[in-house]
A = this chain, B = another copy of it.
Amino acid sequence: MAKAPVLTPRADDFPRWYQDLISKAELADNGPVRGTMVIRPYGYGLWERMQQEMDARIKEAGAQNAYFPLFIPQSYLTKEAEHVEGFAPELAVVTHAGGKELEEPVVVRPTSETIVNDYFSKWIQSYRDLPLLINQWANVVRWEMRPRVFLRTTEFLWQEGHTAHATYEDARDYAAHIHEKVYADFMVNVLGIDVVLGRKTPGERFAGAVNTLTLEAMMGDGKALQMGTSHELGQNFTKAFNTRYLSREGREELVWQTSWGSSTRMVGGLIMSHGDDSGLRVPPRLAPVQAVVLAIKGDDAVLAKVHEVGDRLKAAGVRVRVDDRTDTPFGRRAVDWELKGVPVRIEVGPRDLENGTAMLARRVPGGKEPVAIESLVQLLPAVLEEDQALLLTQSRERRESRTSEVSTIGEAVEAAVAGGWARIPWVNLGEEGEAELAAHAVTVRCLVAEDGSVPGSDDAPGNVAVVARAY
């Protein structure tokens, strides 16, 4: 008799599979206020590892962490016209505090460009203060009409970078540097997700930016997910907040700015990129738990051995957990670790001990085989790197096999509605074409240059639009 599936199969109902996985792998719950989420320890562990890896890259790029207030005076938002228009429908507003009605309502930050500029204009005096490179890890709030855990939540956790530069070129190059050396490097080499680096069309840009760079990934159902964005803000906020510096030549000049963000949405991207019908598959370089050592039964020799193996792997630098909860049936625990996507399970029972072996179960390629316990420390690093590489390969192959080269808008819609991506010359589409796509809930995810690089302008000859349905 076939076992009942633990999760709704992806092919039956992808959104339901996603919700099932999040619930059964204990990643998150819905919060009591519509659109909010409770991130449970295992889900938060994934986010903590993302933070560590990203934070190291952000610091390597020269930015320093700081913290700006959650509450922004409503008047700040209105200073930059496009920006307020972009965010007005999503704002949460505090009208009462300390037992009284406030004289001026305060907005819960949807992003911090406005308040950051207020302080940049105080801190920046001369060219010596530039570039000013700031990042913050924080929660932000955007009231969501169609919330979905990790992907679109009323409150989410993120990092937002904010920088000021003396010249246009310096700001442009820094936005590109973050795009490539922080975001792409992290997503490809740690998350194991194949991302397409491109440029947003004017219609898809961040409210207040002059150029938005994006990273788009294909999910398991062929839809796209925007994994992060890096913006050139030009002088839009600078002008609104009068953020000036005294140049080396003694002139008052407006600074040039960037901002860039990535969020807990990446956890959703991780699930939908690598998850399968048995649960999540976590890339080893990210995994908070890379290997779990399970005692199949609770006899003393087995318990001693799993702790010994755990200690040795830990000493060898593997992020390991020992599962000695033998009052819970082994099968149930094995399924739980599979759901959570821990890359490697090392299962030890009384019979294995006799042979000096353990069962090595690999989550990414699947399958298990007996290995000598003595060889584990030597074996594991290579196994983990192999699995890391395999996830990236699978992610790339999916994108390649499900992307069509097309030349008409009709073909692009057809490919997207069928659950894939289409690449169409931007000259064949244009802003009018975008409106046609929108009627089918299809969007231009980004523009890429003919050679696959990030285009220097919207209408560079040879620009290709990548078109898809998206989360």
Interface residues of A (CB under 8 A from B): 29, 31-33, 36-41, 44-45, 47-48, 64-73, 76, 88-99, 105-106, 108, 115, 118-119, 122-123, 128, 134, 138-139, 141, 143, 145, 154-155, 157, 325, 327-328
Contacts and interface: CB of A to CB of B under 8 A. Distances in A.
A69 B38 CA distance: 6
Nearest to A36: B69
B66 A40 contact: yes
Nearest to A106: B33
A89 B29 CA distance: 30
Contact of A67 (B44, B64, B141): B44
11 contacts: A31-B71, A31-B115, A33-B69, A33-B71, A33-B73, A40-B66, A40-B123, A70-B141, A91-B97, A98-B145, A138-B139
A108 B90 contact: no
Given A32-B73, A41-B64, A47-B67, 19 more contacts: A29-B119, A33-B71, A39-B67, A41-B134, A67-B157, A70-B155, A71-B92, A71-B141, A88-B99, A90-B98, A92-B97, A94-B94, A94-B95, A94-B108, A97-B143, A98-B143, A108-B108, A128-B328, A139-B139
Contact of A154 (B71, B96, B105): B71
Nearest to A29: B119
A92 B93 CA distance: 10
A37 B38 CA distance: 26
Nearest to A39: B67
A37 B130 CA distance: 23
A54 to B, nearest CB: 14
Contact of A33 (B39, B72, B134): B72
Contacts of A71: 31, 33, 36, 92, 141, 154-155
Contacts of A88: 99
A115 B33 CA distance: 11
A155 B33 contact: no
Chain B CB within 10 A, most for which of A37, A69, A93, A105: A69
A122 to B, nearest CB: 7
